[in-house]
Chain A
Amino acid sequence: MKDSDAACYVQHGVSGYGVATKLSSREAIESDKLGGFLKDLMVEIAERCQKAGAKYIGHIKSHVQTSEGSLRADTIGAKHGAELHGHIQKPVKIADMVINSIVQGIPQDKVKDCTLSAAYELAKKYNLQIEEVEEHLYFDEYDYLSKTDKLDMEAPV
């Protein structure tokens, strides 16, 4: 057996993009506001991908880690809205944010454009500064554990 050149996701037109970022704000941000930003961001990326020609939103996910807790948001398409989990105990000024966008029907560079343009524009709207730390493509080796200190793995019961 050998590794194959013909990837199933390529045959199905699926591509993805991920980015690790730092979020910061002059004023400390509360959990509700940060959660609102994340939910809006998920839907915004989905809408942009669809406008760019994506036939299908596979999964767009984000994870924000702060010293006061973590938040996760995701969507499977703009019309489905976004789900948000987690909570931040106290307002924070900085956070680590990871976004992964996996869609079908547009190439990887378009997924990247949609993801980053949505992130920057929405961050501005929410008075947040955003800085890219590292990007990764669909199947890059990517070690989350070294990029984040302590993330909340618990799904709410």
Chain B
Amino acid sequence: MKIIQIAGFLGCGKTTLLLRIAGILSEDYRQRVALVVNEIGSIPVDGAVMEESGMKVKQLGGGCICCEIAQSFANTVTILGLEFKPDLLLVEPTGVAIPRQVKLVAKMGGRDTQVVVGPAIVLFDSSRPEELMDDELMGILVKSQLRDADIVVISKVDMVDRARIEECKEMIIEAIPKTPRFIEVSAINGTGVNEVVDAILEREPSG
């Protein structure tokens, strides 16, 4: 079981991307997919239909999986690994969760099952970069999330122009010590979605 987290600040498009890639991984690549979602209202959708497609959906309440309910999340990882045996476990933490904490808890949960913790994919909303970076309190959090990213997805690129996308990348490169891999994505028109799928499956980009 490979665990992939789709992280990023509130409102950056995590759920929309999660649903797109889960569908592609399940239907086009025949992956057995489980989803763990940790925010109220994140999937106001037909979970039954997703489960009919072979996915297992688990919505965790009662707190944040990176801190408050870390133990419950670890237990969920263990149980899913042992009972559902997914190829991929896609995790959507809350928009304020710290990706390295989620990774750590996922590893702990995987002690009793064969787990590979895959890349942390962190979304950055290209429609409001200054809001995200410039606020004192939120800026610290957003930069912390970006620092933990193996891949930074510049999201909502259908809403902005090329110059804005490049500005976002420059802001991120300036804010964190290591230049991450960037993928530009619009989960609405599909731009970059296959590149995210390729990254999850560790395939060469499909063009």
Query: C-beta contact mask, A78-90 vs B, less than 8 Å → 1, else 0?
Result: 0010000000000
Q: Which of the listed residues B10, B44, B74, B108 has the most CB atoms from chain A within 10 Å of its own CB?
A: B44
Q: Is the CB of A4 within 8 A of B68?
A: yes
Question: Do B10 and A6 touch (CB < 8 A)?
Answer: no
Residue of B nearest to A6 (CB): B67
Question: CB distance A3 to B68 under 8 Å?
Answer: yes
Is B66 on the interface with A (CB-CB < 8 A)?
A: yes
B38-86 with Cβ < 8 A to chain A: 39-41, 43-50, 59, 61-64, 66-72, 74
A151 partner residues in chain B, CB cutoff 8 A: 44-46
Choose the segment among A28-36, A110-118, A120-128, A139-147 that binds chain B (4+ C-beta atoms closer than 8 Å).
A139-147
Which residues of the other chain, B, contact A140 by a CB distance below 8 angstroms? Answer: 40, 61-62
Total A-B pairs, Cβ < 8 A? 137
- Is B206's CB within 8 Å of the partner chain A? no
Taking the closest CB of chain B, its distance from the CB of A25, in whole angstroms, is 22
What string of 1s and 0s marks CB contacts (under 8 Å) between A18-59 and chain B? 100000000000000000000000000000000000011111
B116 to chain A, nearest CB (A): 20
Note all chain B residues with C-beta closer than 8 A to A59. Answer: 10-11, 95
For residue B127, which residues in chain A have a CB less than 8 angstroms away from its CB?
76, 80
B40 touches A139 (CB 8 A): yes
Q: Is the Cβ of A18 less than 8 Å from the Cβ of B19?
A: no
Q: What CA separation (Å) do A12 and B142 show in the bound complex?
A: 11
Contact (A150, B64) CB under 8 Å given A3-B70, A12-B137, A76-B128: no
How many chain A residues touch B (CB < 8 A): the figure is 48
**Which residue of B59, B72, B96, B101 contacts A9 across the interface (Cβ within 8 Å)?**
B96
A58 CA to B11 CA, complexed, in Å: 6
Taking each of B19, B45, B63, B64, which has the highest tally of chain A beta carbons within 10 Å of its own beta carbon? B45
Closest to B187 in A: A155
The residues of A that contact B101 with a CB separation of less than 8 Å are 8
Assess the B68–A139 pair: CB atoms within 8 A.
Answer: yes
B71 and A2 contact, CB distance less than 8 A: yes
The smallest beta-carbon distance between A31 and chain B, in angstroms, is: 18
CB <8 Å contact, B71 and A3: yes
Asked if A131 is at the interface of the complex by the 8 Å CB criterion, the answer is no
Q: Which of A8, A72, A145 contacts B66 (CB 8 A)?
A: A8
The answer to whether A102 touches B98 (Cβ under 8 A) is: no
* CB nearest neighbor in B for A138: B40
Q: A72-B44, A155-B20 are in contact. Are A12 and B68 (CB under 8 A)?
A: no
12 contacts between A and B (CB under 8 A): A6-B67, A8-B66, A8-B97, A12-B96, A18-B40, A59-B95, A63-B41, A104-B137, A104-B138, A142-B61, A144-B41, A156-B188
State the B residues within 8 Å of A (CB). Answer: 9-11, 16, 19-20, 39-41, 43-50, 59, 61-64, 66-72, 74, 94-98, 101, 105, 108, 125, 127-128, 131, 135, 137-138, 141, 187-190
The 9 A-B residue pairs whose C-beta atoms are closest, nearest first, are A58-B10, A153-B45, A100-B41, A141-B61, A59-B11, A76-B11, A63-B44, A4-B67, A59-B10
> Which residues in A have some Cβ–Cβ distance to B below 8 Å?
1-9, 12-14, 16, 18, 55-59, 61, 63, 72, 74, 76-77, 80, 98, 100, 102, 104, 136, 138-145, 148, 150-157
